[in-house]
A and B are shown apart, each in its own frame.
Chain A
Amino acid sequence: AQKVTQAQTEISVVEKEDVTLDCVYETRDTTYYLFWYKQPPSGELVFLIRRNSFDEQNEISGRYSWNFQKSTSSFNFTITASQVVDSAVYFCALSEAYKAAGNKLTFGGGTRVLVKP
């Protein structure tokens, strides 16, 4: 069965510090997809990134970067020079490509990031 673990439940940083969110996943499939979502205090889910299991290139988007390491089953997320607007709950999720449940996302428990001014 697939599983996603986000060991950090809450991280508190001061503005401009970097913060790294850990995500470890388990799956028996060779083809799968990994996602990160942001949930700001307003409650909606904001899609940040999707990665397929065959693409281990790291990705950078502005202040956000992602490190995918298949060898350790990890898909970590770093916010560089954090800002108050980054305060949110961040979810890592996994989707297996060919399961009968179609496009089901298995989510981690989430990491709450609090950025203080």
Chain B
Amino acid sequence: EAQVTQNPRYLITVTGKKLTVTCSQNMNHEYMSWYRQDPGLGLRQIYYSMNVEVTDKGDVPEGYKVSRKEKRNFPLILESPSPNQTSLYFCASSLRPGGGYEQYFGPGTRLTVT
């Protein structure tokens, strides 16, 4: 089944404790990205990747890191989480980077930083 998976689905952590949210797709998609969802703000892009070893900042990259060593995986790293990073996170992928391609979203990761 074609899908985007994220782990963990739920995470409660404390300020400053490094964490990684994994994202994997099995559709051989070139483009992957991370979004965060906050009430009233919709979803905002954190980072994106056009292909392996090609990543760049989105609209709200502060406090996050990413890497793309393999085509299928695109982990999101919070080196020192803070309470303002409490949010719902979505990973997404599309076949190509172009604007017309449908994006497939993962199920979301709800992160709480205390």
Task: Give residues in A with beta carbon < 8 Å to B.
Answer: 4, 6, 9, 31-33, 43-45, 47, 50, 52, 91, 93, 95-105, 107-110
Contact = CB atoms under 8 A, between A and B. Distances in A.
A104 B100 CA distance: 10
Q: Which 10 A-B pairs have the closest CB atoms?
A: A102-B97, A107-B42, A97-B99, A95-B99, A45-B105, A107-B43, A109-B42, A103-B94, A43-B108, A109-B40
Contacts of B50: 102
B107 A103 contact: no
Nearest to A110: B42
Interface residues of B, number: 30
Interface in B10-44: 31, 33, 35, 40-44
Contacts of B44: 107
A interface secondary structure, majority: loop
Nearest to B107: A44
Contacts of A9: 40
Nearest to A108: B42
A55 B14 CA distance: 49
B102 A50 contact: yes
A100 B96 CA distance: 13
Interface string B79-90: 000000000101
Nearest to B38: A109
A109 B100 contact: no
A103 B97 contact: yes
